Amino acid sequence: MKRCLSVVLYLIFSAAAYSYGITDKNRQANALLEEMRASYKIYEDSADILLKSKDLDKQKYEIIISSAINGINNKYTQIIEIDPLCAEAYIIQAKANMSSQTIGKAVSVLNEATNKGIENYDVYILKAKIYNNFFPLPLPVFYELALENAQKALSINPDDYEANRQITLAYMKAQNRDKAFENLNKTIDKFPNHCQDYYDRAYMYANIDKFKDYNKALSDINKAISLSKTQVFNYYMLRHRINDALKNYDAVIDDFNAMQKLDKTPNAALFNKALYLASLDRNEEAIRAYTEFINLEPNNEKAYVNRAISYRKAGKLPEAIDDYNKTIELNPKDPYVYSNLGYAYSLQGKYEEALKCYEKGKKITPQSYNYLNEITTYIKMSDFKNALASLKRYYERGKAEAKKTGKPQSILKRIYDEWQQTLTQYPEDKNAVNIQKELTKFAIADASQNNK
């Protein structure tokens, strides 16, 4: 009897000791996990300060970050020795690896967790995000793995938005547009308050022929903008293209104004707005936009030459000529500007000045526009002899180029087509018609020579 009692007591104390050992290990693991969380919080806060602040001791914060990462690594090793199924330890370690740009290590850590049988939503969703967003090479296998892990996360939490989002991203990046579009629709129906999904669907409506519907695209991008807690440059960038397709031109200008406020380089948005106004032949508005830009960047030659074109189209030739001359002052090696300046002089009837400009342009590089403008100026002067001589020089240059490149037909055809386009400016001018006849003779003669 005494012996039985001793055995029972031994078993009870052994079990209690074993239980105490487990509890003690749990306490150790939990304490280490708390320290690991604290180290990661220090890392996040310091990295955020380093990113946002300019006037600080960078070396000091880099030392703090390095120390925090080392702390995370050490605690991770200790925790896994005690509790190899601690999912949160794997997650924190993987996030630390991601933050220090060691993506491969992050994936290895998370794979170790799933290989040990850990079925955890956060593990799977983090793997999906890494495969979708953090590998430098856009390989299909990464998107297949992203899809697989996002689907596993969704099976654990069927009502989760982020898993659905990662599934859509995986389909989009794998160019599986039908599946991406289908999943977007399902996600928006179930989670109607996420701006990025509306943006993605608007992009598909605007850019993919199978789904193209600019009105639906506009509806979705407006919804995305209304839901966004912060104004997003890319949203307005897409909306301006959609509005342009719908010919909502004033709305496009409003979008450019919004982009100008949001862009990190607002001058670029202002310049693009000016270009757009010019493309609509809203030249007075374009001039104002270019002027605003020039006030910000007074040595930008492109702004002057583009404002000059708008001045010319608005009939303000003296202002156009001033801007062309300013462009030449900034860049005297641009043959295009001499051609434009010559054309402006020709519109004023200053043909000799125009011809001098074309000649300067040809000396820099014998581009076609200087020859064509020269020919048309001679036509305006009723100087058929020099017009024809200029055409012959241009044509001979084209033949030399053709011989050099071995592409005679394409180059000579280009010259012929360029003149055909120029001819439309002078449909009833006898000199222009005669030039056309001469050019046709050249082309026929060359064709005969090439066929021998």
Choose among 318, 317, 240, 316: nearest CA to 279. Answer: 240
Please give the pLDDT value at position 4.
57
Is pLDDT at 20 greater than 50 in this prediction? Answer: no
262 against 406, higher pLDDT? 262
pLDDT tier, 433 (very low <50, low <70, confident <90, very high otherwise) = low
Weakest-pLDDT range from 159-168, 177-186, 410-419:
410-419
Structure tokens at 189: 């129906």
Name the residue with tokens 């693991």: 29
Please give the pLDDT value at position 71.
87
| DSSP code, position 209 | G
Sign of CA dihedral 295, 301, 306, 310: positive
Weakest-pLDDT range from 221-225, 260-264, 395-399, 432-436:
432-436
Question: CA–CA separation, 108 vs 224, rounded Å?
Answer: 36
> Radius of gyration of the chain from Cα atoms?
35
Is pLDDT at 81 greater than 60 in this prediction? Answer: yes
Provide the 10 A C-beta neighbour count for residue 14.
10
| DSSP code, position 403 | H
Cα separations in angstroms, 53 against 45, 46, 49, 65: 12, 10, 6, 15
Under 8 Å between Cβ of 133 and 143: no
- DSSP characters for 167-195? HHHHHHHTT-HHHHHHHHHHHHHH-TT-H
- What is the percent of the chain with per-residue pLDDT over 90, rounded to a whole number? 49
Weakest-pLDDT range from 90-94, 192-196, 234-238, 286-290:
90-94
Question: CA–CA separation, 422 vs 221, rounded Å?
Answer: 43
**Chain mean pLDDT for the chain:** 84
Question: CA–CA separation, 223 vs 193, rounded Å?
Answer: 9
Is pLDDT at 368 greater than 70 in this prediction? Answer: no
Please give the pLDDT value at position 306.
96
State the number of CA atoms in the 13 A half-sphere of 243 facing the CB.
Answer: 18
Is pLDDT at 308 greater than 60 in this prediction? Answer: yes
Is pLDDT at 399 greater than 80 in this prediction? Answer: no
Sign of CA dihedral 391, 393, 396, 398: negative
- pLDDT tens for each residue of 168-219: 999 999 999 999 999 999 999 999 999 999 999 999 999 999 999 999 999 9
The whole-angstrom distance between residue 53's C-alpha and the CA centroid of its chain comes to 26
Please give the pLDDT value at position 137.
73
3-class DSSP state for residue 315?
coil
Instruction: Identify the top-confidence range among 205-214, 389-398, 400-409.
Output: 205-214
Q: What is the mean pLDDT of residues 401-428?
A: 62
- pTM, whole model, 2 decimals? 0.76
Q: What domains are defined for the chain?
A: 21-51+59-118 (1.25.40)
Q: What is the mean pLDDT of residues 131-157?
A: 89
Question: CA–CA separation, 70 vs 58, rounded Å?
Answer: 18
Give start and end residues of each alpha helix (H) in 100-228.
103-115, 121-133, 140-156, 161-173, 177-190, 195-207, 214-227
Q: What is the mean pLDDT of residues 34-48?
A: 86
